[in-house]
Structure 1
Amino acid sequence: MEPATLRPATPADRAFAERLSHDNMAAYRTSRSIVWDPARFEASWASFDNRVIESQGVAVGVLRLHALPDALEIRDLQLLPAYQSRGLGAWAVRQAFRRAAELGKPELRLRVFPENPARRLYERLGFAVVAELDGVLHMACKLPPGGPP
């Protein structure tokens, strides 16, 4: 894996994050007749912990987290296509595990479409399907007692 850093997103990063999420998820939205809602993205940007994934000083992805009373959710993890399948996704999930531990959250959760190749990554990292609602898999992984994996 190439070197990566995770930094808090700034207001200037919002357009990059929205475009990346919009573009990466377009095929999934199209196959389900879901229309992109910029207002929904804007509202979530204000309420999530938004992080930018950088590789060699260049923004290559976003990790968006949402703290619940009993868990931390990965609400969005997106990488530019040229940076996918290079270990950055697994690295970003491990960063989310670390953040969950820092916040004292015993579980990390996420949602994924069943056909999304990222599902295999999540399963490799210990996530299990806990529910399927409206064609979306809800996955969770308990943090090990000694800390994040």
Structure 2
Amino acid sequence: MGFELRPARPQDLDFARDLTCRNMLRYYIQHDLLWLDEAFDVAWAGRENWLIVGDVALIGYVSLSRDASALYIRELQILEAFRGQGAGSWVIDQVFAMACKERRPALRLTVFENNPAKVLYERKGLKVVGKDQCFLRMQRDINELHR
């Protein structure tokens, strides 16, 4: 399956919110956190959002932010029916390439400590660099590319 990133539009908000809630609600419940649609909507508005499109279908999205120290993956959500087909790995490669092109020092993300996606992130070169409550902070330094 081939993949493509397309810029998200305001009308994609409902898809992204529903997918994220469906994928993440169990972690919110397990860790006694409160899911708020309004909080998601505010975060979405302040980020760079890309739809992940497979050969013929919309299969997920990735949400990014930046500061001087890193490019951050804030959300990477894939529809359950399309997991395990390489989309997540492909997206991480694309975002890492963006970070390199922009000369950001690192690619960073945060993941629930019990989320199996952690294995994918480790396979893609991200390492745990800290822990906050139920979250792991992960990072891949850009200079690792040149070692």
For the aligned pair, the TM-score class normalised by the smaller chain equals over 0.9
Map 1:81-92 → 2, pairs under 5 A: 81-92=80-91
Structure 1 stretches of at least 4 aligned residues deviating more than 6 Å after TM superposition? none
Normalising by structure 2, we get a TM-score of: 0.94
Q: CA deviation at 1:47?
A: 0.8
Q: Which runs of 5+ in 2 are unaligned?
A: none
Paired residue total: 146
The one-letter code matched in structure 1 to 2:137 is H
CA distance in 2, matches of 1:138, 1:145: 18
CA distance in 2, matches of 1:13, 1:145: 35
CA distance in 2, matches of 1:103, 1:18: 28
For residue 55 of structure 1, what is the aligned residue in structure 2? 54
Q: CA RMSD in A?
A: 1.3
CA distance in 1, matches of 2:73, 2:57: 22
Q: CA deviation at 1:135?
A: 1.4
SS of the residue 1:25 aligns to: helix
For residue 20 of structure 1, what is the aligned residue in structure 2? 19
The one-letter code matched in structure 2 to 1:51 is W
CA distance in 1, matches of 2:133, 2:93: 28
Q: CA deviation at 1:103?
A: 2.0
Q: CA deviation at 1:146?
A: 5.3
For residue 42 of structure 1, what is the aligned residue in structure 2? 41
CA distance in 2, matches of 1:117, 1:69: 29
